[in-house]
Amino acid sequence: MIDSLYMPYLMRIEKITCEAPGVKTFMLKFVNEEDQNNFAFKAGQFGEYSVFGEGESTFCIASSPTRKGYIECTFRQSGKVTNALAGCEEGSVIGFRGPYGNIFPLDEWKGKNILFIAGGIALPPMRCVIWNALDTRENFKDITIVYGAKSVNDLVYKNELKEWEIRDDVRLVTTVDPGGETPDWKGEVGFVPSIVEKIAPSAENTVAVVCGPPVMIKFTFPVLAKLGFRDENVFTTLENRMKCGFGKCGHCNVGKVYVCKDGPVFTQAQLKELPDEY
Amino acid sequence: MNIERRLVRKDSLEKLFDILRQNKKTVFAPVMKNGKASFKPVGSFSSIAEDYIQTTQSSKEVIFPRVEKFLDYEKNGKEVSIKGFDYQSVTETVLWGVRPCDTIGFGTLNSIFNWDFKDEIFNARLSKTIILSFSCNKSDDYCFCTSVGGNPGSTAGSDILFTKLGADGDYLAEVVTEKGQAIVALASELFEKTESVEKEKFLANVPVKFNQEEIRKKLEKFFKSSQWVEQSLKCLGCGACAFVCPTCACFDIQDDAHGKIGSRMRCWDSCGYSQFTVHTSGHNPRSVQSQRWRQRIMHKFSYMPERLSVYGCTGCGRCSRACPADMNILEHLISIQEVKI
Amino acid sequence: MDDLRKRAKELIDTSAVKVVIGYEQGTGNKTRALFVENSEVADKLIFDSRCVQNLAAYVTKQEVKSKGKMAITATLPVMRAIIQLASEFQVNDDNLIVIGITPESKIIDFKNLEEVETYVHQFQIEIDARNREILDKLDKMTPSERWKFWIDELSPCFKCYACRAACPMCYCSRCTVDFNRPQWIPVSSNELGNLEWHFMRAMHLTGRCVDCDACANACPLAIPINLLTKKMIEDAKSDFGGYQPSLKGENLLSTFKPDDKENFIQ
Amino acid sequence: MAEFEPKIVAFVCNWCTYAGADLTGTSRIKYASNVRIVRFPCTGRIDYMLLLKAFDEGADGIIVSGCHPNDCHYTSGNFHARRRWMAFRSLCDFIGIDTRRIKFSWVSAAEGAKWADIVNTTVASVRELGPYDEYKKVAKKPVKEESHG
């Protein structure tokens, strides 16, 4: 039987983790073992997750390709499909199409320092590449993670943040917006761009990966420029509305680019060539 | 293959139609309703409309239906079973009476659906469709095929192109593809050998109005022009232009649920809708109509030639005819060409 | 026509308004909306029997509204639409001047919307003879025949929403069909999706429709969708004594009378 | 073939008809079990689209019921509802939806017997009309066959 591009894999929800209010992580395994064996992806790629009867929703694969046998996704309950997903229980079967899109060029980053800057729910797209880098730690020099959220409650992957904090081969700086701290909060207090400016990482031989809400990105780019980062070395992901995931449905088209095909990973240099429609 | 030229007597067309029907082919042909011609499955030759310049909708619907089901699912507790597209359901279909500006559009759609990933469902429909087109012997002010690389007697995309030789004349049949030859083989006695015929004089005269290469070059630097706002002020933001267009292929993917069972399908969508690009957060990258109108033109005349090596317009003029606010694409393209940068 | 142009120029030159919305010669034999923002452009203004697009659809359009105070060339249906919009707080005397225009192309100067309302109230909303005939024909059918008629008529609808876009009363920034939680109307343009879309549209226009036929004129597929709203106008007449758009803002379906008469509630 | 059992969905208000239906039960009055009751705060809340949705999902008949005029818990919800029903019903009729399958009624909290009667007569009349195939055909028709409208 020939299947179409639109046929999803059936995935079983193995484990559900509540990350923050309205934010959940699903660990998904292929229902069909053969699908599992034929499946491969790289850091940065995304998929179309679906609840049958509700529709499909686009988000990244949040687990690292170095961890085999499953994929993970993290989403915030916000629309029709993510709400339906949030209502699923462990053991339920959902749909997944993918992987789609381009990748973070980890091969090109060998021998470099990596600076990860994430805000709020935008850590998941970065978690994949962070773990990928940490699992192949010998390939990179210093790894720094700056992660901020509105409040302590909104920080996702709290267990992993602890793990990264303990590790001595990665520097983790967490921050919450002023007013979002709790009495026993030990991290920074302040907006992500100003924390980046404060810790002032060296731009020398460093790539920066920035994911977060538009306003965070808008104010982080100039800080990075001031620190001497070149546009080609600053990476981010675009989150345009998508439907098909493979460059046909037209939704994510921005200028000559199909975000689902040419992205979601772009350098700041590439973004500067694009019309401001993302 | 070389184009074979044959002569089909005017009263042989009906015989050809009947032979197609006898061979169990579904024939889609223009039918008149409420004063508008549109493609419908047709059972008898007499119901085919004759006097029309252009159908209101393009014939793309036969290959890219407005609702296309991909899969059926059935839920059972936490389990789900799914059944994919039913390729057996795609049967041999004949498109009868298509204009050359429509047939060229199938090439464009083919580029969209196959430029990278291959869309098997589209391909299944395209490969099962036989395109019998008819040259245009009349045109109106909305037509501009000759400005976008087509012409009223273009064989591009057709399996057989018929050209009526004079008001009450017979037809020249140009057999373009093997699919066309297979049709000839079904009714070889109707396709007579003929001397070379000058078909040009029987074709509609559609003057060239602009140069699309020039437009494309101009658009490179035209993104920030105030013209988009001026042109689109009267645009009401409906999707009529996109839905009648032979090359517009944007779609949405939706589920249709009935209790435990349901299906997933794609349905037509339009970049002119305000909701087309809205993020779940509420952020809308193209929040005003001028941006959406710009996207429509840029996509057809700049992005598509760059990415897919085809232009997204066949000059059929349907969008202009269908527009409730008289947004005329030809007029707008000419005014873009005339702007000095 | 000269009067109209003169009036438009005056309004622009004296900065009374930023934009005058009127008609110009379109392509083919069509007319279309013209937005006069400087007085030279005013010479393009025309008015004749072809000018049937309901320009009131533009006064709620963000891009037009944001220009500043507007003036609008208004035939009777447009005036009705304006009053209805005013009753729904979409326009008011501070952001809109109405240039009335009679079928004989005579200009009527209105000082304010109240005067427009007074003018509008001289005329009842009446279904034209041609459509009345069709309605009568449909009335004589059995429900099953009507069902067949509508499923068939609506089947070509590909949900381009030109009817919604052209309707001055459909100004919601997010229409019921655009909601997916819940998904009130099936997105696909299948029989059910089309039926429910047009059903919902007709219900939302009940007591608000100004009978301008903009929806039917806009439909690229010539589906007689205005029959639905016309029927609702007729029934409003027999059930509730009819309605007129009114600045008092008492819409038929947002008000009631304790003694409304029906014959079907047990 | 088993006898056709109509599926009836009843949209009722919380304060009168639902309480009335409750009384039917506590009074041990038997009535047809074909009805599925959906409770609303007020008839004014019963969106007409919900009635169409009931048909979409396979209902053969519908009952809509609430407080008698002047008895509305919210003063005027049922008056608003009445106007909407009048409009809704005439649009249904015009589009060809079988209005014999939609029963509107006022049933107070004291009218347990009336509720039983409304249900029984509705079930009987819908049973006579048979399954609402006309609507079901449109609602459930597979998508692929519709693509060439």
For the CA atoms of D81, D85, D91, D93, the dihedral, rounded to the nearest 10 degrees, stands at 170
Q: Where in chain A is the domain with CATH 3.40.50.80?
A: 113-237
Token pair for A138: 């010998």
Average pLDDT over all residues of chain A: 93
Q: What is the pLDDT of residue A112?
A: 95
| Residue A233 at interface with chain B, using a CB cutoff of 8 Å | no
Q: Given CB atoms, is D139 within the 8 Å cutoff of chain C?
A: yes
Q: Which residues of B touch A258 (CB under 8 A)?
A: 307
B61 vs D: CB within 8 A? yes
List chain B residues with CB under 8 Å of A94. Answer: 80
Query: Which residue is associated with the tokens 């057989």?
Result: B160
Residue of D147 and C193 predicted with greater confidence: C193
DSSP state of B234: T
Q: What is the pLDDT of residue B167?
A: 83
**For the range B174-178, what are the long-range contacts, defined as Cβ-Cβ under 8 Å and sequence gap of 24 or more?**
B174/B3, B174/B4, B174/B5, B175/B3, B175/B4, B175/B5, B175/B6, B176/B1, B176/B3, B177/B1, B178/B1
**Concatenated DSSP letters for chain C?**
-HHHHHHHHHHHHTTS-SEEEEEEE-STT-EEEEEE-STTGGGG-B-STT--S-GGGGTT-HHHHTTSSEEEEE-HHHHHHHHHHHHTTS--TTTEEEEEE-TT--EEE-SSHHHHHHHHTTS-----HHHHHHHHHHHHS-HHHHHHHHHHHHTT-----HHHHH-TT---SS-GGG--TT--S-SS-SHHHHHHHHHHHHHHHTTT-----HHHHH-TT---THHHHHHHHHHHHHHH------TT---GGG---TT---S-B-
C120, C144, C170 - which closes a domain: C120
Of D57, D140, D147, the CB nearest to B67: D147
Q: Where are the domains of chain B?
A: 4-64+71-202, 212-338
Full 3-state SS string of chain D: CCCCCCCEEEEEECCCHHHHHHHHHHCCCCCCCCEEEEEECCHHHCCHHHHHHHHHCCCCEEEEEECCCCCCCCCCHHHHHHHHHHHHHHHHHHHCCCHHHEEEEECCCCCHHHHHHHHHHHHHHHHHHCCCHHHHHHHHCCHHHHCCC
Which residues of B are less than 8 Å from D143 in CB distance?
A: 67-69, 256, 263, 265
Count interface pairs C-D at CB distance under 8 A: 117
Residue C167 and residue C224 in one domain: yes
- Chain C nearest-CA residue for D148: C156
Shared domain for C44 and C139, answered yes or no, is no
Q: Which of B141, B209, B236 to mutate to test the interface with C (most CBs of C within 10 A)?
A: B236
Both C217 and C145 in one domain: the answer is: yes
C145 touches chain D (CB under 8 A): yes
Residue B110, helix vs strand vs coil: helix
Instruction: Report the chain B residue with the minimal C-alpha distance to residue D136.
Output: B258
Closest Cα in chain C, distance from residue B1 (Å)? 38
How does pLDDT run across A87-141, given as a tens digit for each residue? 999 999 999 999 999 999 999 999 999 999 999 888 998 999 999 999 999 999 9
User: In the prediction, which pLDDT does D1 show?
Assistant: 53
Residue D149: pLDDT band by 50, 70, 90 thresholds? very low
Residues of A with CB under 8 A from a CB of C: 55, 79-80, 83
Chain B residues lying within 8 Å of D142, measured CB to CB: 69, 263
What pLDDT does residue D144 have?
A: 37
Smallest CA-to-CA distance from B16 within B104, B107, B134, B124 is with B134
Q: Comparing C-alpha atoms, which of A267, A262, A234 is closest to residue A101?
A: A262
Question: Do C165 and C188 lie in a common domain?
Answer: yes
Q: Is B87 on the interface with A (CB under 8 A)?
A: yes
Chain A residues lying within 8 Å of B80, measured CB to CB = 10, 52, 93-95
Tell me, yes or no, whether C73 and C133 share the same domain. no
Residues of C in contact with B66 (CB under 8 A): 158, 188-189
What pLDDT score does D147 carry?
Answer: 37
CB < 8 Å to A79, chain C: 180-181
Contacts of B259 in chain D (CB under 8 A): 57
- CB–CB of C183 and A80 under 8 A? yes
Backbone angles phi, psi at A163, to 5 degrees: -60, -45
C265 within a domain of the structure (yes/no)? no
In the predicted model, residues of chain B with pLDDT beneath 70 are 1
Tell me whether residue C57 is in a domain: yes
Please tell me which residue of chain B has the smallest CA distance to A98. Answer: B117
Q: Among B240-244, C183-187, D34-38, D47-51, where is mean pLDDT lowest? A: C183-187
Q: Is ipTM > 0.95 here?
A: no
Touching status, chains A and D (3+ beta-carbon pairs under 8 Å)? no
The answer for C207, left when phi > 0, alpha when psi is -120 to 50, beta otherwise, is left
Chain B CB within 8 Å of residue D137 CB = no
> Order of strands, edge to edge, in the sheet holding D61-66?
D35-40, D8-13, D61-66, D102-106
Q: Report the residue from B142, B237, B331 with minimal CB separation from C165.
A: B237
Q: CB distance A79–C180 less than 8 Å?
A: yes
H or E element that contains B335: helix B329-338
Distance from B251 to chain D by nearest Cα, in Å?
14
Same domain? For C91 and C13 the reply is yes
pLDDT band at A205 (very low <50, low <70, confident <90, very high): very high
Q: Do B324 and C190 touch (CB under 8 A)?
A: no
CB-based contact C72:C21 (threshold 8 Å): yes
Minimum-distance CB partner of C162 among B240, B268, B326: B240
Cβ under 8 Å to B: D residues 54-73: 57
Residues of chain C with pLDDT under 70: none
Which residues in chain A touch residue B262, judged by CB atoms under 8 angstroms apart?
Answer: 52-53
Q: Specify the CATH class of D8-146 in words.
A: alpha beta
C99 Cα to chain D: minimum distance (Å): 34
Over residues C156-206, the pLDDT tens digits come to 999 999 999 999 999 998 899 998 888 899 998 999 999 999 999 999 999
Hey, is B230 helix, strand or coil?
helix
pLDDT of residue A2: 58
Q: Which two tokens stand for residue C263?
A: 């014959």
- Among C176, C184, C191, whose Cβ lies nearest the Cβ of D138? C191
Query: Residue A6 above 90 pLDDT?
Result: yes
Q: Given a cut of 50, is residue A249 above it in pLDDT?
A: yes
Query: In terms of residues, how long is chain A?
Result: 278
Domain ranges of chain D: 8-146
Contacts of B275 in chain C (CB under 8 A): 174, 178
Question: In the prediction, which pLDDT does B51 show?
Answer: 83
State whether residue B69 sits within 8 Å of chain D by CB: yes
Q: Verify cis geometry, omega within 30 degrees of 0, for the bond prior to A264.
A: yes
The answer to whether B79 and B116 are in contact (CB under 8 A) is no
Contact A79 C181 (CB under 8 A): yes
Contacts of B325 in chain C (CB under 8 A): 32-33, 53, 166
Choose from B72, B82, B216 for mutation: most chain A CBs within 10 A.
B82
Residue type at position B124: A
CATH architecture of A9-100: Beta Barrel (2.40)
Q: What CATH code would you report for A113-237?
A: 3.40.50.80
For chain C positions 184-203, those within 8 Å of chain D (CB to CB) are 184-185, 188-192, 195-196, 199-200, 202-203
D5 in contact with C at a CB cutoff of 8 Å? no
Number of domains in chain C: 2
Name the DSSP letter for residue A139: G
User: Is C263 near chain D, with CB under 8 Å?
Assistant: no
pLDDT tens profile A171-197: 999 999 999 999 999 999 999 999 999
Q: Look at the block and give the residue holding tokens 């003057």.
A: B207
How close, in Å, is residue B243 to chain A by CA atoms? 14
Q: What is the dihedral of CA A32, A33, A35, A39, to 10 degrees?
A: 140
The verdict on residue C259 lying in a domain is no
Q: What are the tens digits of pLDDT across the range B234-260?
A: 999 999 999 999 999 999 999 998 889
Residues of C in contact with D104 (CB under 8 A): 264-266
**Residue given tokens 């009401």 in the structure block:** B236
- DSSP string covering B139-193: --TT--GGGGT--TT--TT-SEEEEE-STT--EEEEE-SHHHHHHHHHTGGGSEE
What is the least distance, in Å, from the CA of C196 to any CA of chain B?
15
Regarding whether C113 and C155 lie in a shared domain, the answer is no
User: What is the least distance, in Å, from the CA of C265 to any CA of chain D?
Assistant: 5
Whether C178 is covered by a domain: the verdict is: yes
For residues C39 and C74, membership in a common domain is answered with: yes
Interface check for A10 against chain B (CB to CB < 8 A): the answer is yes
Residue of D nearest to C137 (CA): D94
Contact C158 B243 (CB under 8 A): yes
C145 is in which domain, residue-wise? 129-254
**What pLDDT does D142 receive?**
43
DSSP code of B19? Answer: H
CB B314 within 8 A of CB B156: no
The Cα A136–Cα B293 span in angstroms is: 47
Q: Are residues C140 and C101 in the same domain?
A: no
